[in-house]
Structure 1
Amino acid sequence: MAPLDASTNPEAIAGLQGGISEFDNAHRTVRNAPACLAPVSSPRSPYELQGSLSIPLRRTFFKRRRPGMPSKERISYFYDGDVGNVYFGPNHPMKPHRLCMTHHLVLSYGLYKKMEIYRPHKAYPVELAQFHSTDYVEFLHRISPNTQNLFADELARYNLGEDCPVFENLFEFCQIYAGGTIDAARRLNHQLCDIAINWAGGLHHAKKSSASGFCYINDLVLGILELLKYHARVLYIDIDVHHGDGVEEAFYFTDRQHVYLTCQFNSLRITSLPLRIYFLQLYSNKMFFCYIK
């Protein structure tokens, strides 16, 4: 899977200027239940899920193996070595080079033999703007360590600073990890795999128009929206130590039912390690969407 360099693609950048003017249209209504694999009218953002949705809910969340399907689970693993080359700065807890270390473990233990490895495409700005505001995406595209002093007001507006610093290749970093999650969701949609892995993803704090908690682009929301094109509901499980407020906020004001559960376990000298589970009853009939950080 060849990477697509949106940073040098004029058509991709131009797409931000037009073609998503209805991004915040909150009155889209989906009336008919989709077939098993028939694409649904794709919501461009969680805010377009307002309205009555007469999609029947199924009693099971998990995909049942059909007769004739392979006995072994098909695993798609997405990795781009460039994602580990970025540096958030001294003493910053975010260490992307650990993604490279994880990949080396996958190779050393021979796990790669049990999966298909893909290099994800770099998500286009228009793909990022399926959830994020266009002005925020444009700002991430043009900001750099050499120019950030010229944008003091914008840095404050978009919450870039100590927790979410500006570093070299920031936008490319966002493109890579978001592209991996989008590609993973697409392969699941088309039944090309049973499990899709993107260790670079899971940046669940990013908001529609601002960075937060070391997260710039919320790839999880983008992945869920991609799944919603084919499925009636999505089960999103988040077992990070911190609350995934960006994902919750993205879908909180829709009229779809969602359940938020928190389970906490105290054992083995581990205290206050929450297991947070979000049942976003959106559009999936049998998808299991899980990220582990």
Structure 2
Amino acid sequence: MVVEKEGTVQINGTALYTKSWLPDGPTKAILLFIHGFSDHVNRYNTFFSTLASRGIAVHGFDQRGWGRSVHKPSDRGLTGGTEQVLADMAAFMTPYLPSGPNDPPVFVMGHSMGGGQVLTLACRGEYQDKIVKRVRGWLLESPFIGFSPEEQPSSLKVFAGRLAGKLLPAFQLKHAIPPANLSRDEGVRKSIAEDKLMHNLGTLEGFAGLLDRTAALAGGQVKPLHGAVKSLWIGHGTEDKTTCFKAARKYFDECLKDVEDREFKAYEGWYHQLHADGPDSERFYQDVGDWILARCGGGGGGGEEAEEGEGRVQEGVEEAAAGKTSSKL
């Protein structure tokens, strides 16, 4: 049985929606998840429940401007710039990071836009001691390191967007990715089209930050600092029509050479949402769970020690929210 808990965490005066998928038994590992553009954590429910059933506690939040963290129409896509995005992620992650040898190991995973954000944070100097060195492993699902041919904007559009973003940063612009480009599963495509929380709106400031992060990654300007990232896994569909498979592979080959424990998993013929690409997705769940659990030995926690560690994590979240975190089963 998997226990699901919803809540909120206050970050810089804004209440952001959180959700956890907790094992009914001992917690072997903790996974912190960052979702993609116009997405929200409840769309990963089957994936997260499967991991939790194997002893991996999953914690995620709807990022500022997305999902249930939107409180009024003007909030849609209002993510702020890159510094705000990374600060939100760091504030969410920090209470879950291990403080002792008996705490469960922590892993961080990002999908699509969230994958690019996770990779950017892992490479930033100011987050090395507080976060990066305390994370056991990093996982990227279809990370946004480059546009697919189907989504590649013209250079003129990019230039105009960046210029306009400086003048009207909060101006909302719609960018809808066709559901047919995201998954091979007709049921998933239909649910995406009908999901009112997937509003497809971003601000010019948010889009500019997204473009800048992606360009820096694709250009090899952003790399992990030597020895800071212990383990890293990338999963990417070869027929991804949203983010570029070749760009992710190139980044893995050229920019991740210093990560001793690294793996690139190519899913032949798969689309963008590996977690929701039809019946085959069960293999993706298995791959992710296996990779995490294989790195949980030696101080990874287990049994009563792991349960106590997860309890300390939950207490830390409540303290971080200064009494403003609410949870419900």
Alignment TM-score, normalising by the size of structure 1:
0.30
More helix by share: 2
Alignment TM-score, normalising by the size of structure 2:
0.28
